[in-house]
């Protein structure tokens, strides 16, 4: 699954799953554009780590829910790396709260970043991939986009939208040899899931982790590298016959 000579863009790659995916792609041979918004110092550190691996990398500040920022991001990638072979749309936000507790601002921000942001980034990269005659787009979905879960209605709806968007894009872009798939992570140990563990543990993070782990047949929660490795697979040539698929990387959560 080598990616020598490939160029990739990973949104939301200053930490967590995005950081792991950017480093995994670089380890597989790709040059990588790192994207951050509020954590640009961390994004610069990731880019530096990638350069230490002998790959080209830059960090670009962009809010993926803003079309002008997205244009600047992809333009910078093309100008710096020459092309975009791989896109992983990972940038996202997560708000906990029951229906009555969701403010309009929480709802709109979640949909704007998690769904519209992925759409805008895919839309902007498609012409670049058409020039190449092929490409790999990987969207970040979620197990919450597969089944309803209490306490995160906006997030669940946004990820259900990502799954549907992935399938629609795959149908449209297949004639251009652009594969569009999604990873659907289970619960991954990142800063983003801290609030979730607090709620599930009634204020006790460790208790929350133990409680959530009970739902995972494999006996543990996921690590960012688990998703990064899946992204490398979907970005590589060995997955050429896959498109429009939602790859669940969830420790068996969706099996029962």
Write the CA distances from 220 to 60, 251, 252, 253, integer angstroms.
34, 7, 10, 10
Structure token pair of residue 241:
């016959």
Cα four-point dihedral sign 155, 160, 161, 163: positive
- β-bridge mates for residue 57, sequence order: 32
Catalytically active residues are: 155
Query: Could you tell me which residues come within 8 angstroms of residue 24 by beta carbon, excluding any fewer than 6 positions away?
Result: 225, 228, 229, 231, 232
Question: Is the CB of residue 21 less than 8 Å from the CB of residue 91?
Answer: no
Structure token pair of residue 12:
């939301």
Q: Give the residue from 25, 22, 35 showing the smallest Cα distance to 64.
A: 35
C-alpha torsion angle, residues 158, 26, 2, 167 (rounded to 10):
10
Question: Is the CB of residue 32 less than 8 Å from the CB of residue 25?
Answer: yes
For residue 145, give the DSSP letter: G
Query: Could you tell me which residues come within 8 angstroms of residue 51 by beta carbon, excluding any fewer than 6 positions away?
Result: 57
Q: How far apart are CA 121 and CA 90, in angstroms?
A: 10
């Amino acid at each position: 699954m080598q990616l020598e000579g490939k160029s990739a863009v990973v949104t939301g790659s200053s930490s967590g799953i995005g950081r792991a995916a950017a480093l995994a792609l670089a380890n597989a041979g790709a040059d990588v554009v790192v994207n951050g918004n509020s954590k640009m110092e961390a994004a610069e550190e990731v880019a530096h780590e990638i350069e230490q691996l002998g790959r080209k990398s830059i960090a670009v500040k962009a809010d993926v829910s803003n079309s002008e920022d997205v244009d600047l991001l992809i333009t910078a990638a093309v100008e710096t790396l020459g092309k975009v072979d791989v896109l992983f749309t990972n940038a996202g936000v997560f708000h906990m709260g029951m229906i009555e507790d969701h403010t309009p601002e929480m709802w709109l921000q979640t949909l704007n970043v998690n769904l519209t942001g992925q759409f805008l980034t895919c839309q902007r990269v498609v012409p670049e991939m058409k020039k190449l005659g092929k490409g790999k787009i990987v969207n970040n979905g979620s197990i919450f986009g597969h089944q309803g879960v209490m306490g995160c209605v906006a997030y669940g709806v946004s990820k259900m939208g990502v799954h549907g968007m992935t399938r629609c894009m795959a149908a449209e872009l297949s004639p251009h040899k652009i594969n569009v798939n999604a990873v659907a992570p289970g619960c991954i140990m990142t800063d983003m899931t801290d609030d979730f563990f607090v709620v599930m543990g009634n204020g006790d993070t460790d208790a929350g982790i133990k409680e959530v782990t009970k739902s995972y047949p494999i006996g543990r929660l996921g690590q960012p590298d688990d998703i990064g490795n899946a992204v490398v697979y979907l970005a590589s040539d060995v997955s050429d016959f896959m498109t429009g698929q939602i790859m669940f990387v969830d420790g068996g959560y969706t099996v029962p």
